[in-house]
Amino acid sequence: MSQREENRKKSGKKLRAVGAWVVVAIVLIVLVALFYPASESPVVIPKIVDVEEGAADRWYTAEQVAQGQELFVQHCAECHGKNAEATPDWRKTDATGNYPPPPLNGSAHAWHHSLSVLRETIRQGGVPLGGVMPGFADKLSAQETDAVIAWFQSLWPDELYQAWYRMERESQ
Ligand code: HEC
C-alpha cells in the first residue's frame, strides 16, 4: 500500500469516527428535546421588573418606580390592591351601580390611556366622569403622580407597554 493510500484510509477512518459522534449527538439532542418536561407557562405579570435592564425602552427611571411604589401603597393600594391587581371583576358594576377599582397592572384597561389621560384621571379622580375615585391633585405633585404611573407601568409586560407606547407617541 502506498503512503498516499494509507493516508487516505486513515482520514476516511477519522471521518467515519467523527460522523458517528455527530449521529450520537443528534440522537441525544432529539431525545432530550422529546422528553424534556415542557417548562411551566411563563408568569403572566412580573411583580418586580428589572427596570435597569429595560430602561432604554421605558420612559421612566428605576428611582421613579421605587418612589411610585411607596406612594401607591400609601394612596392607591386600599382600592387598587397592593400589586395593582384590584379585582378581576372590574367590568361589572357593584350593588351601588358603580364600577369597582380596576387593576392597573396591565390586565385591565389602563393601558388604553395616554400619559396625559392617566395623569388627569389621577389628578381629578373619577367623579367628573360619573365615577367614584377621589382625585389626588391636592395630595400628589405632578412629579409624584408620574412616579406612581411609572410604578404601575413597570408591572406591564413588554408587549403591552410597547402597544401603549406606540399609542402614546401617536397621541402627541
Ligand atoms: C377609594 C378608592 C380608590 C382610590 C384610593 C384610588 N382609586 Fe383609582 N379608581 C377607583 C375606581 C372606583 C376607579 C374606576 C373609575 C371610577 O369609578 O372613578 C378608578 C380608576 C382609576 C384609573 C383608571 C383606570 C382605567 O382602566 O380606566 C386609574 C389610572 C387609577 N384609578 C389610578 C389610581 C391611582 C394612581 C391611585 C392612587 C394615587 C388611585 N387610583 C386611588 C378607585 C380608587
Q: Per residue in 75-131, pLDDT tens?
A: 999 999 999 999 989 999 999 999 999 999 999 999 999 999 999 999 999 999 899
pLDDT value at 28 more than 90: no
Distance (angstroms) between ligand 1 centre and the Cα of 116 equals 15
pLDDT value at 36 more than 70: no
How many angstroms separate the CA atoms of 58 and 169, rounded? 13
How many angstroms separate the CA atoms of 34 and 23, rounded? 16
Distance in angstroms between the alpha carbons of the first and the last residue of the chain: 83
The residues, any chain, with a CB within 8 Å of residue 124's CB and separated by 6 or more, are 135, 137
Burial class (CB in 10 A: 0-12, 13-18, 19+), 145: buried
CATH code for the domain defined by 51-170: 1.10.760.10
Element (H, E) at 13: helix 3-35
CB of residue 84 inside a 6 A radius of ligand 1? no
Q: What are phi and psi of 75, to 5 degrees?
A: -110, -25
How many angstroms separate the CA atoms of 33 and 151, rounded? 39
Number of the ligand 1 atom closest to the C-alpha atom of 71: 38
Q: What are phi and psi of 47, to 5 degrees?
A: -75, -55
Pocket test for ligand 1, best of 67, 69, 80 (most atoms within 8 A of CB): 80
CB of residue 147 inside a 6 A radius of ligand 1? no
Distances (CA, A) of 51 to 48, 65, 147, 163: 9, 8, 13, 18
The model's pTM: 0.74
Indicate which residue's Cα is closest to atom 36 of ligand 1.
76
CB of residue 116 inside a 6 A radius of ligand 1? no
CB of residue 110 inside a 6 A radius of ligand 1? yes
Distance (angstroms) between ligand 1 centre and the Cα of 41 equals 30
Indicate which residue's Cα is closest to atom 25 of ligand 1.
110
pLDDT value at 43 more than 70: no
Per the prediction, the chain carries an average pLDDT of 85
CB of residue 102 inside a 6 A radius of ligand 1? yes
